[in-house]
């Protein structure tokens, strides 16, 4: 009975970490959206300036990319902890693993890298439209259309 309680508690710890990583990913998306909207709204005077408009748009693009990476990082961490969870379920008596070992490096090689995750649809469909629209604005401003 004690082994079942230990496994149950261990699974609760792992689930809490997974939930925290998913929440962090959600918060990163929210902050990215808020930052982009705020910078565009507060910088509307700079955007219409002939000399500084393109630089301002490029700075906004440069700020989106770290949020994109951070979101992919948290998704990767979540996937690693899902693997740890599966490993705990497959070996409930902890014969081939350490009990309560939540070190993400243990199974990190079994999950795609952060940069590969950035290229997945789950992530890039959120960030690429913003980058595309901002880059389009830069191109249109440079060509004199706007």
Query: 80-112 pLDDT, tens per residue?
Result: 999 989 888 887 776 767 777 777 777 778 899
pLDDT band at 23 (very low <50, low <70, confident <90, very high): very high
Which ranges in the chain belong to alpha helices (H)?
2-42, 44-47, 53-90, 114-118, 121-143
- C-alpha span between 109 and 49 (Å, rounded): 48
Distance in angstroms (rounded) separating the CA atoms of residues 91 and 19: 22
In angstroms, how far apart are the furthest CA atoms of the chain?
74
- Look up the pTM and report it: 0.85
Question: How far are the Cα atoms of 48, 60, 132 from residue 52, in angstroms, in the given order?
Answer: 8, 12, 19
Nearest-angstrom CA–CA distance, 85 and 102: 9
Contact 3, 92 (CB under 8 A): yes
Give the Cα separation of 82 and 87 in Å (integer): 9
What percent of the chain shows pLDDT beyond 90?
A: 44
Q: How far is CA 49 from CA 33, 53, 139, in A?
A: 24, 5, 15
Q: What percent of the chain has pLDDT over 70?
A: 97
In the prediction, which pLDDT does 1 show?
A: 62
Per-chain mean pLDDT for the chain:
86
What's residue 122's pLDDT? 86
């Amino acid at each position: 009975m004690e082994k079942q309680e230990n496994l149950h508690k261990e699974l609760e710890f792992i689930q809490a970490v997974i939930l925290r990583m998913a929440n962090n990913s959600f918060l990163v998306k929210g902050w990215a959206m808020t930052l982009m909207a705020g910078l565009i709204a507060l910088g509307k005077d700079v955007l219409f300036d002939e000399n500084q408009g393109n630089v301002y748009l490029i700075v906004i693009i440069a700020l989106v990319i770290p949020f994109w990476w951070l979101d992919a990082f948290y998704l990767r961490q979540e996937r690693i902890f899902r693997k740890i969870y599966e490993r705990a379920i497959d070996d409930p008596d902890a014969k081939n693993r350490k009990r309560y070992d939540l070190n993400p490096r243990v199974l990190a090689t079994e999950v795609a890298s952060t940069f590969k995750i950035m290229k997945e649809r789950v992530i890039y469909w959120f960030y690429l439209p913003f980058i595309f629209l901002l880059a389009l604005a830069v191109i249109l401003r440079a060509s004199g259309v706007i």
